[in-house]
């Protein structure tokens, strides 16, 4: 089970971020913290741009920078009311409908 407090701490840090952390700075945190952080950055970016699509674009950019697998971020952006958000995330990760959702899966 995922550690909800890591996610929440990351989300709070992302909401309060003046600038995104570098990949090096983020490398010291747990994956759940990173996910919460990226979700918050995407939410803020979407509000600033007044576009739900912007959330997916930001999440894809930051998720790749922090080496977060697509499959880990996807549930946070799968909103039937705004399918363009997930579409933007998929495009940013270059994930097609037929693709395996394991982008950045290093378990091999």
Position 106 in a domain: no
Q: How many domains does the chain have?
A: 1
In which domain, by residue range, is 48 found? 4-92
The per-residue pLDDT for range 49-100, each reduced to its tens digit, is 999 999 999 999 999 999 999 999 999 999 999 999 999 999 999 998 655 4
pTM of the model: 0.85
Position 98 in a domain: no
Residue 4 has pLDDT above 80, yes or no: no
Give residue 17's pLDDT. Answer: 96
Position 104 in a domain: no
Residue 103 has pLDDT above 70, yes or no: no
d(CA 90, CA 93): 5
Residue 11 has pLDDT above 70, yes or no: yes
Q: In the chain, which residue ranges form alpha helices assigned H by DSSP?
A: 4-15, 23-26, 31-49, 52-65, 70-77, 83-92
């Amino acid at each position: 089970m995922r550690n909800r407090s890591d996610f929440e701490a990351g989300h709070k840090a992302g909401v309060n971020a003046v600038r995104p952390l570098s990949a090096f700075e983020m490398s010291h945190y747990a994956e759940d913290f990173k996910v919460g952080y990226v979700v918050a950055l995407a939410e803020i970016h979407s509000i600033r741009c007044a576009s739900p699509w912007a959330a997916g674009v930001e999440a894809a950019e930051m998720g790749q920078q922090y080496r977060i697998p697509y499959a880990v971020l996807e549930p946070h952006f799968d909103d039937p009311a705004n399918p363009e958000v997930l579409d933007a995330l998929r495009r940013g990760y270059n994930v097609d409908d037929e693709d395996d959702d394991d982008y950045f899966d290093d378990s091999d």
